[in-house]
Each structure stands twice: as C-alpha cells, then as structure tokens.
Structure 1
C-alpha cells in the first residue's frame, strides 16, 4: 500500500470525529467536468460574451432570468445525466461505520445524499439544485427535472420566476449551513480530509488549520498539488473514486 494511503487509513481508523470536505474533483469521476461556477461547465466567457461569474450571478437572475437559466439548466442537465460514483459510496460507508464522520461539500449535484450519506451529517455549503422555489411568493415547486422540458425561465403559478436553493455568484453562503459548520468546528475534529478540491476558501482552510493546531490529522486527496497541499500532513495524488474505496477497505480491514 502507498505510504500516504497508509497514513490516511491509519489516522481515520483511530479518529472519532472526522470531516471530509469534497469538491468538484470528486464528481469529475461521475462525468461532471471540474469547471468554474456553480457546479461548473465553463472556463472564461460564455457564448453570450459574458464571464460565467456574471451569467450565473444573483444579480443576473434578477435582471435577465432567461439568460441565467440558460446556464443553470445546462448544469442541471449534466448533474441529472450522471450519478454518484465509487468515491461517494465510500464516503457514505465511512459515515455509516463512523457516526462522528461529517461531510462538507462544495458540490450542488446531490450525489452525497443519493449515495447514502445521512442528511444530518451533510453540509451542502453551496446549496443544491432542487427543489425550486418562487422568487416572488416563496412557494416551493417541483424538482428541477420537471422544469427542464418546459420553456425557461421556469415560472410559478403566481407568475414569478423559480430558482434553485443554490448559491450563485455574488450571493452569500447560506447562514444555516455556515452555522452548522461553526457548531461542529467548535466541537473539534480529530481528522480533516479535503477530497477533489484545490480551493482555499475560508470554510475549507479553517477546518484544516484548526485540526492541525489542535494536534489532529489533515490530508488532501487530489491528483494535483495546490495551496491546500502545503497546509496538510499528507497529500495523496490519486483520483477520489480510486483512492476512497481503497482507503475504506484499509480502514476497516479485519
């Protein structure tokens, strides 16, 4: 077994409180590109000549909902067409066998829940793609799938534009998710592992640094090195869907 893999497996075997932080690299093995954006698809400018950060922003959803929904719907179709992979399943198995294991995900595809991760130990920091709700009256609507066969933007019976409970560019992270993360960070984690993300957002960096400062174990599982690699005890340069099932097998070997 690879030395880095062995170190991570041994640390997770001994740990009670574990935080797995996941990003787009985990869902890449389901066929979703590791793109910029809310779940992604684009680098640079869209075919409308706008940066994706502008097209997929909260202000654009208000100003030109049809344009924003053009790209939201492409993300939705990509997520619906794919499914969770062996990495998601391995994390769900780890959570099943370690009741102190939490998942914090940047992904909006819903694959952790679909793979069996318990909702009470899952923090979707960027929200999800469904169910939709009305921006005018606040009433909930059907899941995204139902609306992708209809004209966009999707509309409520009141005439208002529908949107998913997802964090667009220029929007705040959901306070409920941040609050749950803060509460769990206060309790502390014995091990924090970043999987398939190279982002150095505060909500990723803080758990890693807190764990290190308190003598806990930290690791990154990602084929490429990044700023995060310098903050962790171990960097395992392997794709998530290959590494995670192996790790779980090693952790619970008899």
Structure 2
C-alpha cells in the first residue's frame, strides 16, 4: 500500500497536468452520508411510495415543488451539517503546489470551495446547493440555511416564485459551461488522473481516465472498495481518502 502511494506521488511529482476526480466517498469522511446511504434516503422508495430518483427530479420540482423540496432539504441539512475534511484540504494544497492540477467533482456539498480549491480549476459537474435562485425572476437568494427552517418550498423575496438550488436533479441536463470546460481540458490531455471515492461509470468520469491511459499517462484510484474503474487503473489504493491524501501530499515537494 505504501509503495502504491509513493508510485502515485512520483507520477504526480513528474506531471504538469493532473486531474483529480472526486465522488461521495471523499465527503463521507466529513460525516456526510454517501449518495446511496443518505439516511436510507436512496434505499428503495420514499414515504410517498416513489423512487427517490422521481422525487428528486426536474419534472417533480415543477409538478410538486413541496415534495421535491422535502428531499432537497434532507440533502441541504446533511451538507450544511458537515465541513470540508483533511482530504479536501490536501487536494486544495496539491492544486497550490501544482498549478496544472484540476478537480472534477460529482459532489454538490461545496466542500472543495470551502477547503480553498481555486474556482478556475474546479469543475462541479452536478452543480451545488447554494446560492438558491428564483425560477420565475432569476433573483439569487443566499439564505439556504434559513429557508430550511421555514415552510417548504422556499419562496423568492422579490416575486414570490419558487426557489431552487443550482444543482443537477434527475432527468436534468448537466450544466453546459461545466461540461464544456471539462472536455476542453480533457482535449488538452492529462498526464495523471486520480479517482477518489467515486463508483461512477458515467462517460464524463471514465473518459478522462481512459484517455490518459491511451496517451501513456498514469491512472490511480483511492477507494476502499472495488469499483467499475478498478480494472482500468495503474494503481488502486484500497484505503479511505482521509488517510491516503495527506500522506500522498507528504511525498510531493513544495515548488
């Protein structure tokens, strides 16, 4: 395990362009339940007898905003109730040491921002939970925490319209700007791609990793479990990111 950490560190040390892909496993170490384990929220059906994917969907937000917000509020409370951890901090520090290091995250908790990752090299592919904005007039509302204490769905102070977070719900498109930026950077190529705490097999997660392999780059995964990505990577460190990332950083020089 130690040898693998050193191998990954050496590859990062030599590289200029690095992509760190993060998923729910990274934020689980903050005490945030992983996507499928959010208070049992994603296991089976909701109290209304719906699959959670239907309750947390774009069509449901339009059709029954109170029901959709019931579950958005669960996500909001979970994210606001935890903080960025040492893994997020290690990634932000890596980005300081390596100006060609990018982060692609599926997480919507905002912890990479909180930890100090530079926004110009952070791609939040599924959006984030704040600030809310009005679906009718577009006004922004920064008071997510306050709205979660009030009757739902939250309403716009300007026009009374229903507020929503800038997050990608089920059955919605990925944000054009984020996906455009990702593929622009992927076209330039990455010498090292590191997947942290993600089980995802979405094309936009797998493709950067496969392309790095095709171009002779180095690929690695940090995940205590075996995933769809595990068979593709040069190194799989089967430990939690909270243990591995700070240690990995200790082997990378401060330029």
TM superposition score normalised by structure 1: 0.96
Rounded Cα–Cα distance in structure 1 between residues aligned with 2:123 and 2:11: 23
Give the SS at the match of 1:192.
strand
Give the SS at the match of 1:227.
coil
Quote the residue 2:109 is aligned against: 109
Structure 1: 5+ residue runs without aligned partners? none
Quote the residue 1:81 is aligned against: 81
Deviations 1:128-165 (A, max 9, x none): 00101111111212231121111100011312110000
Deviations 1:163-205 (A, max 9, x none): 0000000000000000100111111111000000011100110
Quote the residue 1:192 is aligned against: 193
Rounded Cα–Cα distance in structure 2 between residues aligned with 1:250 and 1:32: 28
Contact map agreement 1:35 1:43 (CA 8 A) in 2: no
Quote the residue 2:126 is aligned against: 126
Contact map agreement 1:195 1:222 (CA 8 A) in 2: yes
Matched, 1:42 2:62: no
Range with greater deviation from structure 2 (218-227 or 143-152): 143-152
Structure 2: 5+ residue runs without aligned partners? none
Contact map agreement 2:103 2:123 (CA 8 A) in 1: yes
Rounded Cα–Cα distance in structure 2 between residues aligned with 1:194 and 1:104: 9
The size of the alignment, in residue pairs, is: 254
Rounded Cα–Cα distance in structure 2 between residues aligned with 1:41 and 1:23: 18
What do you get for the CA RMSD once the two structures are aligned?
A: 1.8
Rounded Cα–Cα distance in structure 1 between residues aligned with 2:87 and 2:225: 17
Rounded Cα–Cα distance in structure 2 between residues aligned with 1:149 and 1:118: 31
Matched, 1:180 2:181: yes
Rounded Cα–Cα distance in structure 2 between residues aligned with 1:142 and 1:100: 31
TM superposition score normalised by structure 2: 0.96
Quote the residue 2:202 is aligned against: 201
